[in-house]
């Protein structure tokens, strides 16, 4: 990336406009910055506010927009969430989602660590070419693969088991995390590795004792991003799993909570809210890692 040019004030490195923001006055900033920013943020966050509101409203207020103002409620209730957690299979679906996401993430990270290390450091014949084809694999979308993959999953005898998802999700995760980890491994100086080689360390020792401890931020970024992708995945989960008790949250919630025309909006919104919370909490703890994973994969 571009280095800051010599002579730029050191304090202004992380923000391009900080050096000149004194040029605009407060009323100006109000119109050009705070107003549009607030509008965009309200639009971006409103669906979540509405989701939460619906999930805690009593049933009689849900469909009655005229006697109660729909934007808030004076008598919040946990009945929808309680119903969801104790009267449906929801905890089971949540467990399925988490189990599949964690297993697929672990498998993918292990495979990608080896692949990324081999491509960047062992540099066997054709490493460049393999690196390029892994990037291409990243560009193959699940929506053109799911039909043949469903017949393949059936052939392998995995249909309608969690393994159908645990083994297919890595095809989405490995290209992404290999690409991300390659970027991290490249920043680790060769000298460290050469020293270790001279001291008689094997490739395995170099990888586990030197490279991995230095690449921990990259591993965290890759892992949480993989978790998010698994949680978000829909088309494979919809196609490969038939039994209701085996489903993941996104699939179960659309197929199980929509009985006929009378949608149970309270439960649906409670389900969407509870299903999103684990990811939002994970995100809150690792914001920086998230952003570096997202932008890292794009910039490499």
Q: State which of residues 31, 74, 139, 198 lies at the interface with other proteins (CB under 8 A).
A: 139
26 touches other proteins (CB under 8 A): no
Query: What minimum distance in Å lies between the beta carbon of 133 and other proteins?
Result: 9
- Pairwise CA distance, residues 57 & 37, whole Å: 29
Nearer to other proteins, 26 or 74 (CB): 26
106 touches other proteins (CB under 8 A): no
175 touches other proteins (CB under 8 A): yes
Binding mask 188-217 for other proteins (x = CB under 8 A): ---------------x--------------
Q: Per-residue DSSP letters for 230-286?
A: HHH--HHHHHH--SGGG--HHHHHHHHS--TTS--HHHHHHHHHHHHHHHHHHHHH-
Query: What minimum distance in Å lies between the beta carbon of 46 and other proteins?
Result: 8
Q: Per-residue DSSP letters for 174-192?
A: HHHHHHHHHHHHHTS-HHH
Q: State which of residues 208, 232, 244, 245 lies at the interface with other proteins (CB under 8 A).
A: 232
Binding region for other proteins (CB under 8 A) out of 75-83, 87-95, 213-221, 272-280: 272-280
| 3-class state of residue 143 by DSSP | helix
Contacts of 177 (CB under 8 A, 6+ apart): 108, 109, 112, 116, 222, 223, 225, 226
167 touches other proteins (CB under 8 A): yes
Residues 41-100 that bind other proteins (CB under 8 A): 41, 43-45, 47-48, 50-51, 54, 62-63, 65, 70-71
Tokens of 87: 């009267």
Q: How many CA atoms lie within 13 A of 134 on its CB side?
A: 24
- Tell me how crowded residue 253 is: count the other CB atoms within 10 A of its CB: 22
Query: What minimum distance in Å lies between the beta carbon of 10 and other proteins?
Result: 11
């Amino acid at each position: 990336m571009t280095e800051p040019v010599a002579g730029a004030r050191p304090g202004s490195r992380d923000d391009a406009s900080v050096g000149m923001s004194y040029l605009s006055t407060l009323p100006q900033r109000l119109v050009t910055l705070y107003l549009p920013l607030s509008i965009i943020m309200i639009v971006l966050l409103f669906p979540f506010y509405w989701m939460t509101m619906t999930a805690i409203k009593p049933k009689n207020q849900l469909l009655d927009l005229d006697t109660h103002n729909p934007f808030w409620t004076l008598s919040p209730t946990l009945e929808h969430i309680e119903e969801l957690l104790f009267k449906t299979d929801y905890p089971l679906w949540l467990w399925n989602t988490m189990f599949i996401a964690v297993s697929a993430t672990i498998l993918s990270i292990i495979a990608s660590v080896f692949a990324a290390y081999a491509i960047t450091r062992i540099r066997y014949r054709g490493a460049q070419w393999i690196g390029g084809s892994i990037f291409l694999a990243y560009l193959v979308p699940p929506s053109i693969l799911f039909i043949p993959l469903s017949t393949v999953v059936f052939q392998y005898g995995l249909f309608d088991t969690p393994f159908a998802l645990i083994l297919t999700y890595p095809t989405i995760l490995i290209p992404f995390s290999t690409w991300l980890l390659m970027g991290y491994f490249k920043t680790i100086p060769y000298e460290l590795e050469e020293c270790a080689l001279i001291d008689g360390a094997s490739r395995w020792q170099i990888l586990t004792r030197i490279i991995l401890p230095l690449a921990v931020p990259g591993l965290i970024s890759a892992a949480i991003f993989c978790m998010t992708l698994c949680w978000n995945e829909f088309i494979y989960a919809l196609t490969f799993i038939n039994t209701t008790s085996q489903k993941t949250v996104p699939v179960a919630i659309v197929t199980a909570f929509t009985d006929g025309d009378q949608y149970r909006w309270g439960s649906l919104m409670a389900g969407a809210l509870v299903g999103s919370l684990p990811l939002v909490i994970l995100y809150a703890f690792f914001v920086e890692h998230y952003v570096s994973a997202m932008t890292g994969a794009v910039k490499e």
